[in-house]
Amino acid sequence: MEIVSLGGSEFARALAHFREGGAVTYRGMTLVLRPAEFACTIPWTDAGEAPTARRALALLTRARFQLGALLASAPPLASVVGNREPRLVLAATHAAGDELFELRGDRLRRL
């Protein structure tokens, strides 16, 4: 399910799906709410080359700002997320086990 706009019945359906633990997509990021974490997966789109730490940090930092803007402009979504710290992950695909880098707070870690 994709978040296209921040209002209306489509947003309400996406929010309900997200609240139940389902994945929603916003600007290419896949957002999943788990009991103890808020996961945000960003796909690595340059399949021909491996990501460098510098490139991963740039992509994940940009995603963190986009995510902050989303939560600031959608109070119902922010209230569902609550105080969970976002786990930003750069992944080759959206499948489990394809994670390349993780950004939590200011710490970038290769997975």
Claim: this prediction has a pTM higher than 0.95: no
29: CB partners within 8 A, 6+ apart: 40, 41, 42, 63, 66, 67
Residue 92 pLDDT = 82
Angle at the Cα of 87 (from 34 to 62), degrees rounded to 5?
Answer: 135
Rounded-to-10 torsion of CA 19, 21, 26, 30: 160
Q: What are phi and psi of 81, to 5 degrees?
A: -65, -40
Residue 97 pLDDT = 60
Residue 46 pLDDT = 79
- In this prediction, the residues of the chain whose per-residue pLDDT falls under 50 are none
